[in-house]
Structure 1
Amino acid sequence: MVVNNGIANDARVIKTAAALRRAGAEVTVLGIATAGGPREETTAGGVRYVRLPVFPRRGATAAYLRFALARRAAHLVRDPRRWQRTLPSLRWYQRAFTRELRALDPDIVHAHDIHLLDTVARTWPPHRCPFVIYDAHEYVADLAVAGRRTRREVESWAAKERDRISDADAVITVSPEIATRLAAEHHLPRRPTVVLNAPVRFDGPADPGAPAGPVRSLRAEVGVSASTPLAVYGGALSTARGLGTVIEALPLVPDLHLAIVAVPYPHPMSQELRELATSLGVADRTHLIEPVAAHEVPAFLASADIGVSAILGTAASYDMAMPNKLFEFLHAGLRIVTS
């Protein structure tokens, strides 16, 4: 498997790797190390996780200067259809992943998201390329513009998907609606298979050396009694995830406490959320909680009363999403409040 992040907070990648290992496959997941960091390798539950040094650390170094100049040059290219020029990160992916992929000599490569699909296809000549699966985690043609992601970047990734989706021997995705769109818009020979973001069933922890079952209680960490109403949000955070809206609603429900179990932890938005809660007089009912391992999430959340997903309807990708948290809430037996 290949993915353009540090793996640890990508529940779909971890769950897929664990499920394949349980089915008898030998699984290696290649991800990205912290910028400027060394190559890292770990093993959990029989899955080998390798984080590759891809991007340079920000600073006065020749490596970072080359990277910064490439990004600056990319901004001069206005046409997103020229994605090879507008997405400078592709060169760094190619350098880091090609050697590792060739050394592994896999039978199947599972490319999570669009970022590394062309890197996989270019690693081998067409007649020697392994079976390639493209896993569309999102509807790339209309990703939300949030944080550092610009509209031009979204259009560039969409153009890349249009040009390179045919490199995949099979396409899977997260929801029926996205599957239908991909089949129609890219004239695929068959509709992508839908693999939901559902929790993996574990008889024990992913790492055989870890203790069985959740070792923490959400309600205990929040510090409220069993009779106190408790809502929980779990997963990645951005302005588009609507946590500001949820906090703004807390004054309307005087007894309700909100637990935010966000990745990464501590989260860059933590201070912003605390300041909002303080300004509304609900800081004592807003709790930022350290997350647990992916296989422990449903049991960890189960002591709450309500699961909250308030994603803002700013992009078609969000409108068609069926995120991990939805299924984690279901498995935890929670009532769900969603946008």
Structure 2
Amino acid sequence: MVATGTNEPTAPARIVILVDNGVNGDSRVQKTARSAADAGWDVILLGRSPNGQPQSWKLGDAQVRLVRMPSPLRQRRHEYRRRWFIGPLAYPPTGIAAQRAQVVKAWQADLVIKRALLASGGRSGGSVLKRGSLRVQEVAAKVLKRWVSFRYWQLTTAQRLRGSLRSPWDRAYTWFWRRLLGVRSWRRLEPQLWDYELAYGPTVDQLRPDVIYANDFRMLGVGARAKIRARTKGRQIKLIWDVHEYLPGVKPRSNNARWMTANQAHEHEFSPYADAVITVSAQLAELLKRDHSLPLLPSVVLNTPNVADVEWDEGAPNLRNRIGLGPETPLLVYSGAAAAHRGMGVMVEAMPHLPEAHVAFVVNDPQSAYLNSLVARAKELGAADRLHVLPYVAHHEVVGFLSTATAGVIPIHHWLNHEIQLITKFFEYSHARLPILVSDVETMAATVRENEQGEVFRVDDVEGYVRAAKAVIADPDRYRAAYKSIDLAAWTWEVQAEVQAGLYRRLAPDRIPGRA
């Protein structure tokens, strides 16, 4: 509690942090919540339950709550209707197609048994009449199978054509609503955004925050609408918008052509309600100021490790002893989300050219289809015994866990957001004093070259990657020595969190913890 001028106790300001995930695995939001709570602010972190059940726990002094979020608006109205023009004979999208296909398979399986009984002279008999009847049924089943298959094909073809929302009709629809409604057009083009509002909004209102900290584009709308509702009731809420990615530069989360148009419209509608904007790099700050006509340049907060997390215990579990690898064996590690655009395939393709080296993937979902495809490829190359796939460790254990690798690899592809920032794993590798093998994405490649802390290779260039990896494996100490001249203290969360703390104090000057 703090004291006012009249000696009446006043609680510190309540900060409600909004994030569109299940919190676990998102180190940035966890550190944001914990550092604010440790400073005395009343912090509640709201996320989305991954299993549909509300959950809650403590993160230091911060509360974490995961809300249930049904998403009935994810599917569009046309997905519930037949496509009369594209597939006039298609089954309706009700599941009947799969049922009919299974019925035909069952009928044909039964006819196989009948034929076997006739051939064996069983009690079904073998009269000409019965054999003729069976033949008629077999022909009828084949005809019906072709008919069902044709209607099923029309259904799946129509769904595929409409699924991308790129048909002339869909393009005209998108253009019409964008012209008619402008920034409000997302209501027609991406109605699923309402599912976030309906899941989070009531809880935010009940919590009565003084400050809302909205992470990324979906939560911006939730926070802005809560601010508007509070204002009509005479309450003032300050809104902080933390932009992790530049929206026009992301790989679309959905395959449909409306996704980017709709989400950009949503972002542009609600960005004026932000009282402060935070982002992850100076270049992204400039882009946001330009695109949204912001009065001030956004503050930059890098997603760096906590000081305590980088002072690891050398006797603690680490990558090498987890996979049972001796200290002399070269070990190249990738740590982070697993996806094709992250470029991990080049590490597998290079394994035959680095016969002594082992590769480790420390990933969010070790059993994903993409990871399974990489494991299968390693088997084809005869290198499966040198590929190790492990799950994430807690964010405060990452640096120490990775520290025994020979090098950390960042093979990501050329997407705009990859070009303009130092990503989380870059800082984790740096604090682990790992030589870094990075693809030629602009900012990280330039930093590695300037600091001489690793080698750079062209995206998806196996030969270039092998050359870079051999250089590091031959003399890792040369690259580790570069960290003696790098100010790693500046790359710690405590330094970055001071930027956030300054915003909290500016936005809630009368409710600062510990102020008399």
TM-score range, shorter chain: 0.7 to 0.9
Matching of residue 11 in structure 1 with residue 11 in structure 2: no
Corresponding position of 1:167: 273
Partner of residue 378 from structure 2, selected from 245, 252, 277: 277
Aligned to 2:391: 290
CA positional deviation for 1:120: 1.5
Provide the rounded CA distance (Å) in 2 between the counterparts of 1:67 and 1:151: 15
Q: Is residue 132 from structure 1 mapped to residue 256 from structure 2 by the alignment?
A: no
C-alpha separation in 1, matches of 2:25 and 2:379: 28
Choose the corresponding residue for 2:201, options 77, 83, 98. Answer: 98
Alpha-carbon distance in structure 2 between the residues aligned to 1:276 and 1:78: 41
Match of 1:61 in 2: none
Q: 1:34 to 1:248 in 2, by over 3 A?
A: same
Q: CA offsets, 1:46-90, max 9 Å, x none?
A: 22111111025xxxxxxx5x6534584995542465222222221
Alignment of 1:237-276 (within 5 A): 237-276=338-377
Report if aligned partners of 1:142, 1:317 keep a CA contact under 8 Å in 2. Answer: yes
Structure 2 CA distance for aligned equivalents of residues 328 and 17 of structure 1: 20
- How far residue 21 of structure 1 moved from its aligned partner, in angstroms, is 2.0
Provide closer, same or farther for how the CA distance between residues 42 and 222 of structure 1 changes in structure 2, counting only shifts above 3 A.
Answer: same
Instruction: Between 237-246 and 275-284, report the one with greater CA deviation.
Output: 275-284
1:204/1:213 contact within 8 Å kept? no
1:1-339 → structure 2 map (5 Å cutoff): 1-34=17-50, 37-55=52-70, 67-69=74-76, 72=79, 77-79=173-175, 82-123=185-226, 124-126=229-231, 128-145=235-252, 148-202=254-308, 215-313=316-414, 315-339=415-439
**Contact 1:133 1:172 survives alignment (8 Å):** yes
Partner letter of residue 347 of structure 2?
Answer: V
CA–CA distance in structure 2, aligned partners of residues 225 and 282 of structure 1: 18
**Native 8 Å contact 1:108 1:132 kept in 2:** yes
Given that residues 213 and 296 in structure 1 are in contact (C-alpha distance below 8 angstroms), is that contact kept between their aligned partners in structure 2? no
| Residue aligned with 2:75, SS | helix
Q: Deviations over 1:113-145 (max 9, x none)?
A: 110211211122446341111110001112124
TM-score (norm 1): 0.87
Residue 309 of structure 2 contacts residue 396 of structure 2 at CA under 8 Å; is this kept in 1? no
Deviation at 1:99, TM superposition (A): 1.2
User: In 2, are the aligned partners of 1:144 and 1:318 still within 8 Å (CA)?
Assistant: no
Deviation at 1:260, TM superposition (A): 0.5
SS at match of 1:258: strand
Query: Identity over the aligned pairs, expressed in percent?
Result: 33
Post-superposition Cα deviations, 1:131-173, rounded to whole Å, max 9, x if no partner, equal 111110001112124x645453123222222222111110000
Partners of 1:172 and 1:71 lie apart in 2 by 38
Larger helix proportion, structure 1 or 2? 2
Q: Displacement, 1:325?
A: 0.5
In structure 2, the CA distance between the partners of 1:267 and 1:47, relative to structure 1 (3 Å rule), is farther
One-letter amino acid of the counterpart of residue 55, structure 1: P
**Structure 1 residues 320 and 110 mapped into 2: Cα distance closer, same or farther (>3 Å)?**
same
How many residues get paired?
Answer: 322
- What secondary structure, in the 3-state scheme, does the structure 2 residue paired with 1:326 have? helix
Q: Deviations over 1:169-201 (max 9, x none)?
A: 100001111011111222111111000010122
Q: One-letter code of the match for 1:135?
A: D
1:11 CA displacement: 1.5
Gaps of 5+ in 2: 1-16, 81-162, 440-516
Following superposition, the deviation at residue 203 of structure 1 comes to 7.4
Note the aligned Cα RMSD (angstroms): 2.4
Task: Give 1:287 shift.
Answer: 0.6
Aligned mates of 2:77, 2:45 — CA distance in 1 = 28
Q: Distance in 1 between matches of 2:365 and 2:56?
A: 20
Given the superposition, is the C-alpha separation of residues 153 and 111 from structure 1 closer, same or farther in structure 2, using an over 3 Å criterion? same
Contact 2:338 2:371 in 1 (8 A): no
Deviation at 1:297, TM superposition (A): 0.6
Q: 1:338 to 1:151 in 2, by over 3 A?
A: farther
Residue identity opposite 1:142 in structure 2: G
Contact 2:190/2:258 (8 A) holds in 1: no
> SS of the residue aligned with 2:213?
strand
Question: 1:38 Cα deviation (Å)?
Answer: 1.3
Give, in whole Å, the separation in 2 of the partners of 1:154 and 1:324: 25
TM-score where L is the length of structure 2: 0.59
What SS does the corresponding residue of 2:427 show, helix, strand or coil? helix
Moved more, 9-18 or 133-142: 9-18
Contact kept? 1:118, 1:167, Cα under 8 Å: no
AA in 2 matched with 1:41: S
1:115 aligned counterpart, secondary structure? helix
Q: Given that residues 214 and 300 in structure 1 are in contact (C-alpha distance below 8 angstroms), is that contact kept between their aligned partners in structure 2?
A: no
The amino acid that maps onto 2:359 is L
Alpha-carbon distance change, 268 to 112 in structure 1, aligned in 2, over 3 angstroms = farther
- Tell me which amino acid in the other structure corresponds to 2:437: V
| Alignment-mate amino acid for residue 216 of structure 2 | D
Q: Is the 8 A contact 2:70 2:199 kept in 1?
A: no
- Amino acid across the alignment from 1:325: K
SS in 2 for 1:29: strand
User: Max radius of gyration: which structure?
Assistant: 2
Determine the C-alpha separation between the residues in 1 that align with 2:330 and 2:216.
37
Partners of 1:262 and 1:177 lie apart in 2 by: 28
Which runs of no fewer than 5 residues in structure 1 stay unpaired? 57-63, 206-211
